[in-house]
């Protein structure tokens, strides 16, 4: 009776909670701190409910305070922590809920919460590293676009107005004049096209499976991108599976959860295939062998772990290995992209400058001959 009452209450508050969460936007950082504090409180000997009370007192984010308050309310009505977290599945992932559920059964709650916090911290560092690596190219592209728009809409028309005979202008200048006139007359069409392309890509990727399959295949096939993507997924595979093993979660359930967690279609599909092979009596290494989604080294190490019975520790070690490799792969990827980006920007800006200076040079020559 208590369980159904809590679920009804949660459903009534669901809309309001989601609205507050959108406004306050508790993100990965808030979740990481939440699990870290919960792990510390559990290690100090506090109960789950008392731990949540202590976290609630220091929490500043309104949305997360609402979630914590509701968790306390549900625990008071005899729900488990995993069931309480599941009622807030829009904030807590299925992986975290399954790990907490297993920890409640095995009595390893402090260790499991600490493991979740460490994994979130590592993931947060990886995301921060990717954002940091993308900041320079993004800023460069934005400023280049601004410069190009100013040159096309202000500078080029002013320079060209000095020449009464437009047909005598160089071909590159005539092209830029056309681009400038189009930008000035149809700027809203340009912005609308960009918005439409971005929206169409996002919609097709989320809702059109053949397009999703194609893009995901592209990310694991392109020479300059595939190494980083595969290394990231091998890190996630090793670390997540290790955490599930240590928490006492069945490998079958673990793989099912991982198929929901992974974004790439081909890794999702592989998790389901490995799950089917395990149910048929095969081992991890048997199912992974020959797949281009995994390094032969990882397959061999997992085989050793299966034979020696310490697969959880082996997977944790490989998770740390691939985490460090991924960081270097991101740096290498950006060092590879930057020269091409600079060359592309130089080509665009150089073309615009040529369209400005070539007619000016002709004008100077004409003036010189007249004297």
pLDDT of residue 5: 37
Residue that wins the pLDDT comparison between 90 and 83: 83
pLDDT of residue 371: 52
Q: Is a pLDDT exceeding 70 seen at residue 7?
A: no
pLDDT of residue 329: 83
If you average pLDDT over residues 88-98, what whole number do you get? 83
Closest CA to 98 of 206, 228, 243: 243
Least confident of 268-277, 301-310, 339-348: 339-348
18 band by pLDDT with thresholds 50, 70 and 90: low
Q: Is a pLDDT exceeding 50 seen at residue 1?
A: no
pLDDT tens digits for 38-82?
Answer: 888 888 888 888 888 888 888 888 888 888 888 888 888 888 888
Q: How many whole angstroms separate alpha carbon 332 and alpha carbon 49?
A: 46
If you average pLDDT over residues 276-285, what whole number do you get? 89
Q: How many whole angstroms separate alpha carbon 195 and alpha carbon 199?
A: 6
pLDDT tens digits for 162-199?
Answer: 666 666 677 777 777 777 778 778 878 888 998 999 99
269 band by pLDDT with thresholds 50, 70 and 90: very high
Closest CA to 113 of 249, 247, 252: 247
Q: CB-based burial of residue 253 (10 Å sphere; 0-12 exposed, 13-18 middle, 19+ buried)?
A: middle
Q: Do residues 241 and 318 lie in contact, with contact meaning Cβ atoms separated by under 8 Å?
A: no
CA 61 to chain centre: 23
pLDDT of residue 139: 81
Q: Is a pLDDT exceeding 80 seen at residue 227?
A: yes
CA 129 to chain centre: 11
Q: How many whole angstroms separate alpha carbon 121 and alpha carbon 29?
A: 8
Rg (CA), the chain: 28
Q: How many angstroms separate the most distant Cα atoms in the chain?
A: 101
pLDDT of residue 272: 93
Q: How many whole angstroms separate alpha carbon 148 and alpha carbon 150?
A: 5
The tokens for 211 are 């397009």
Q: CB-based burial of residue 251 (10 Å sphere; 0-12 exposed, 13-18 middle, 19+ buried)?
A: middle
pLDDT of residue 3: 37
pLDDT of residue 276: 92
pLDDT of residue 11: 41
17 band by pLDDT with thresholds 50, 70 and 90: low
Q: How many whole angstroms separate alpha carbon 36 and alpha carbon 120?
A: 9
pLDDT of residue 133: 72
If you average pLDDT over residues 122-142, what whole number do you get? 78
Q: Do residues 74 and 84 lie in contact, with contact meaning Cβ atoms separated by under 8 Å?
A: yes
Residue 249 backbone dihedrals phi, psi, to 5 degrees? -80, 140
């Amino acid at each position: 009776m208590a369980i159904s009452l809590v679920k009804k209450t949660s459903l009534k508050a669901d809309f309001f909670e989601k609205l507050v969460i959108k406004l306050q936007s508790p993100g990965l950082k808030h979740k990481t701190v939440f699990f870290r504090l919960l792990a510390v409180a559990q290690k100090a000997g506090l109960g789950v409910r008392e731990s949540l009370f202590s976290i609630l007192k220091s929490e500043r984010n309104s949305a997360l305070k609402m979630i914590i308050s509701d968790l306390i309310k549900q625990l008071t009505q005899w729900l488990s922590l995993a069931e309480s977290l599941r009622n807030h599945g829009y904030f807590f992932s299925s992986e975290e809920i399954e790990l907490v559920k297993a920890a409640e059964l095995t009595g390893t709650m402090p260790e499991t919460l600490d493991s979740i916090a460490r994994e979130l911290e590592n993931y947060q560092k990886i995301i921060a590293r990717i954002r940091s690596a993308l900041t320079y190219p993004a800023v460069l592209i934005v400023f280049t676009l601004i410069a190009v728009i100013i040159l096309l809409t202000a500078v080029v028309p002013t320079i060209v107005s000095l020449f009464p005979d437009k047909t005598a202008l160089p071909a590159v200048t005539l092209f830029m004049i056309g681009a400038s006139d189009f930008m000035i007359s149809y700027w809203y069409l340009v912005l609308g096209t960009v918005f439409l392309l971005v929206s169409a890509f996002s919609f097709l990727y989320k809702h059109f499976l053949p397009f999703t399959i194609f893009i995901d295949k592209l990310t694991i096939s392109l020479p300059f991108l595939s190494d980083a993507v595969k290394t990231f997924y091998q890190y996630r595979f090793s670390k997540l599976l290790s955490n599930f093993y240590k928490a006492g979660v069945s490998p079958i359930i673990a793989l099912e959860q991982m198929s929901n967690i992974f974004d790439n279609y081909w890794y999702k599909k592989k998790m389901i295939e490995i799950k089917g092979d395990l149910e048929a009596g095969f081992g991890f290494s048997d199912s992974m062998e020959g797949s281009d989604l995994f390094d032969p080294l990882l397959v061999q190490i997992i085989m050793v772990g299966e034979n020696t019975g310490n697969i959880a520790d082996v997977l944790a070690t490989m998770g740390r290995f691939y985490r460090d490799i991924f960081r270097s792969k991101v740096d290498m990827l950006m060092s590879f992209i930057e020269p091409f980006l600079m060359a592309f920007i130089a080509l665009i800006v150089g073309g615009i400058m040529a369209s400005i200076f070539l007619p000016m040079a002709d004008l100077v020559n004409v003036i010189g001959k007249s004297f």
